[in-house]
Amino acid sequence: MPKYLIEREIPDAATLSTPELQAVARRSCAVLQQLGPTVQWVQSYVTDGKITCVYIAPDAAVIHEHARLGGFPADRVVEITSIIDPTTAEWNATTSMGGAERADA
């Protein structure tokens, strides 16, 4: 199932208190429960002027419906096409063979 990155423009998001963030999380979870198991919230990052979230969903329409029902913005919704991390730089012939060592190496 696709993963999506959602940008929610929220002025002064970094100044939200723990109780305020808990209220947002509770509201999000309640809407997710209403929408059913096809949409999952992975995690969110709170920065100065926005909250950026990662969700798993069948399509972007479900993400927009989640935002509408929850009463929070979904200013930008983009599908994540690939994920890379530091181990991506370590790719070599051994890893491409599923960990088996090459006989001619």
Tens-place pLDDT, residues 54-102: 999 999 999 999 999 999 999 999 999 999 999 999 876 555 555 544 4
CATH code assigned at 11? 3.30.70.3090
In a domain, 67, yes or no: yes
Give burial (CB, 10 Å; 0-12/13-18/19+) of 52: middle
pTM confidence score = 0.81
Tokens of 101: 């060592």
- As a whole number of angstroms, the distance between CA 27 and CA 29 comes to 5
103 assigned to some structural domain: no
Report the number of distinct structural domains present in the chain.
1
pLDDT digits over 37-67, tens only?
999 999 999 999 999 999 999 999 999 999 9
Listed residue (77, 31, 70, 22) closest to 54, CA to CA:
77
For residue 102, being part of any structural domain is answered with no
The verdict on residue 80 lying in a domain is yes
Write down the pLDDT at residue 96.
Answer: 55
Q: Is residue 13 part of a domain?
A: yes
For residue 81, tell me if it sits in a domain.
yes
How many Cβ atoms from other residues are within 10 Å of residue 4's Cβ?
Answer: 21
| Cα distance between residue 68 and residue 79, in whole Å | 19
Domain range for 61? 3-96
| Whole-number Å distance between alpha carbons of 34 and 11 | 27
101 within domain boundaries: no
Q: What pLDDT does residue 49 have?
A: 94
> Is 12's pLDDT higher than 60?
yes
Q: What is the pLDDT of residues 25-34, one digit of tens each?
A: 999 999 999 9
- Specify if 31 maps to a domain: yes
